[in-house]
Structure formats: C-alpha cells, structure tokens
Amino acid sequence: CQSEMLKGTVMQMAVDIDASLLAVVLARDAKGKVGSGLKRKPMVHVLDLSTGDEIWKHELGSEIEMMPTRWSENDDVGFTLDNYHPPMFISGRLYLFYEGATSFDARTGKIRAREKYKVNESGLALTEAAPVGDEAFIYTSGRGHVRAIQRDSGEVEWEAKDVGMTPELVLAGRVIYARTGGQFTR
C-alpha cells in the first residue's frame, strides 16, 4: 500500500462498522532472507471509514519478529505478522497483540492499558489465546495469566495467575475454559 498517508505493506486490518473505523497495520521493507530473523516496527493507522481521513496513528515502540510467507534458501521473500493475533475493535477500544496486549481508545489513540510480554522467541510462537468476550467482559491471556476485563471501563475485574501458556479460551455461558500448552513452531 502506498499513498501520501500510508506507506508500507498491509499486514493486518480490523474494522468496526458501527463506529465507522478501520485499523490498518503496515510494515515497511517487509522482505528478507528466511532465517534472518526479520524484525520491523509496525505502524497502526486508524481511519474514518466514511471519509477515509486518518484519525490517529501509532508506531509500536520496539521491533517485532515477523514470519516468512514461504520457505526459500536463496531468494528474498515477503514477511507477515501472521504469527500474531490481528487487531480487534471491542467496546470502543482497539486491541493490539504484537508485543503483549495494548488497548487504545479507538477514537483518540490514547493508550488505555498496556501489558508487555514476549509473543515470539527464537522461531517459537509462545501462543496466547485470541480474546473472547460477552456482554460485560473481555477475557484475555498473557504471561501465564487469564484476565476478565470490564468492557465499559477497561478495568481488570479478576485475574487467574500461574495458569501457564494458554493457547485457547472458550466461553460457554458464564464459564470460561482455558486450554493450557507450551510452545508452538511457526
């Protein structure tokens, strides 16, 4: 994607139709040799769907490890963010999952909550679950904890510590089930 506003390769997107918002995650120069451990600082742009105007943007504070699109011994290949959960709009917030979990106010870009933990390390995806939610809470995992976050305030209602790596959360009625596991290769 190249425009006067957005430069780089589109890595992931999220849309909130009701709020007329589009989040686009881009990375520049997302090509390299397989095995080179390519890292980039992605840029998140939030756009108004009705006008196309940029509302806010945020560059991630550190470089994150990317994943090759194919295996080649000699050629430069494209790299992606496919080893990360895509961004999500939930209750007026934009959640990113690249170097832990970060919540932004979807309209202003103000960081509401930030928890930093490794998502990938040395070719292994330290898998955390995609967030799940109901009318009142968003349930997330990270660093061996499972949390219930209030949708209206963003405050943590409860936290289960020392659960271990949690690659899957399933919400069934008022019960949340966590599948625990270890590391996964890309």
Tens of pLDDT, residue by residue over 8-66, are 889 999 999 999 999 999 999 889 888 777 889 999 999 999 999 999 999 987 888 88
In terms of average pLDDT, the best of 10-14, 63-67, 133-137, 180-184 is 10-14
Q: What pLDDT sits at residue 11?
A: 93
Q: What pLDDT sits at residue 108?
A: 95
Q: pLDDT higher for 92 or 113?
A: 92
Q: What pLDDT sits at residue 114?
A: 67
Q: What pLDDT sits at residue 152?
A: 76
Q: What pLDDT sits at residue 1?
A: 47
Distance (Å, rounded) from C-alpha 128 to C-alpha 165? 6
Tens of pLDDT, residue by residue over 137-175, are 888 887 778 888 887 777 788 989 888 878 888 999 889
Distance (Å, rounded) from C-alpha 119 to C-alpha 84? 8
DSSP the chain: -B-SS-BSEEEEEEEETTTTEEEEEEESS-EEETTS--EE--EEEEEETTT--EEEEEE-SS-EE-EESS--SSSEEEEE-TTSPPPEEETTEEEE-SSEEEEEETTT--EEEEEE--SEETTEE---PPPEE-SSEEEEEETTEEEEEETTT--EEEEE-S-----EEEEETTEEEEE----EE-
Global pTM reads: 0.76
